[in-house]
Amino acid sequence: MKKATFFTGSFYLNNRQFILEDEVVNRDNCQYGAYLLKEYFAKHGVDLSTQDINPVSESDFIIYNEFHDVKNIAVSKDNYLVIFESEVIRPDNWNLENHRYFKKIFTWHDGLVDNKKYFKINFSMKIPEKLDFDLGKKIKLCTMIVANKYVKHPLELYTERRKAIEWFEENHPEDFDFYGFGWDKHLFTGHLRKLNKIEPLRKFLRPRYKTYKGSVKSKNEVLRGYKFAICYENARDIPGYITEKIFDCFFAGCVPIYLGAPNVTHHIPAATFIDKRNFKTYDDLYRYIKNMSDAEYIDYLDAIKNFVLSDKIYPFSAECFAQTLVREIIGKS
């Protein structure tokens, strides 16, 4: 069997990237695409493993999960790059000078895809075969599940998430809960960010949110309890940048309030989500979701079901992701 390297971060070594049973790594099946990728290569006689198991020097080709330092690039090998993180999080991913080291690059960025060097992939999902939306479990109006982070960048949406939280805190805390890691600590930014290493100080200065409910083990279980979820990407106005967030809502039967990719409706039907761009203020948005009739809400859920259970969702499937890489790297389907 041939060997190939999946070059990834230290957290995912020892093939942790591909282990579905690891609940920390594979929360809500987020690693199913990587798992299938390894399985599909194995069917064609290729053992794809992380760099500690299949060293770069012993592999026929290398797949880099995000761009890594140039010193880690094997210039004498066939190198392939898979880009998930946006320029807001990983600017090195989008330095076109770095792309010269790779034979092919796989990305969601619609502005780069040419089917010659750049090939379209998406954040991939394990698509459910059936959906069970229990309206009786929806105990509250709106939620948000997001970690407490901040990056200084003109396209970042972390600030907009905070605006949403603050609006509900001040105006309608009875209709809102939010969850996620890090909100029980103060987050230092800018030239003070080094202070984030001082845990006692962060806890002492932590904000006192009325609507914060802690971190979650399963996003799906939490989202099922709400009618709507504020669903903002990490960044806005980047064509094709559609992550797992909107699909987490779909699979739980929770209508997303979406902000992010400018061309989202080129990939996902407009009837399946509420477009935040259509509301100038959070007052306007709140009135819309609070006063929505049951019939209109059911229309959203029906549109979600029709999309998720149709072939139109295939480009976001783990199967599409794995098949695309296998086809373009070894010429097999």
Domain positions in the chain are 2-126+317-330, 135-313
Q: How far apart are CA 258 and CA 213, in angstroms?
A: 22
pLDDT at 101: 94
Q: Which residues of the chain have pLDDT under 50?
A: none
* pLDDT value of residue 71: 78
Which of 228, 230, 216 minimizes the C-alpha distance to 144? Answer: 230
| The predicted structure's pLDDT at residue 224 | 96
Burial of 32 (0-12, 13-18, 19+ CB in 10 A): buried
pLDDT reported for residue 54: 97
Question: Up-side HSE of residue 141: CA atoms within 13 Å toward CB?
Answer: 16
Answer whether 2-126+317-330 and 135-313 agree in fold. Answer: yes
Tokens representing residue 158 in the block: 């972390």
Q: Answer yes or no: are the C-beta atoms of 296 and 289 closer than 8 Å.
A: no
Domain 135-313 matching CATH 3.40.50.11540: the answer reads: no
pLDDT of 70-86, one tens digit each? 777 877 889 999 999 99
| Residue 243, helix vs strand vs coil | coil
The sign one gets for the Cα dihedral 173, 275, 235, 302 is positive
Please give the span between the terminal C-alpha atoms of the chain, in angstroms, as a whole number.
18
Q: Find tokens 């809102």 and name the residue.
A: 176
Q: Residue type for 107, please?
A: T
Q: Please tell me the total number of residues recorded for the chain in this structure.
A: 333
- Architecture in CATH for domain 2-126+317-330: 3-Layer(aba) Sandwich (3.40)
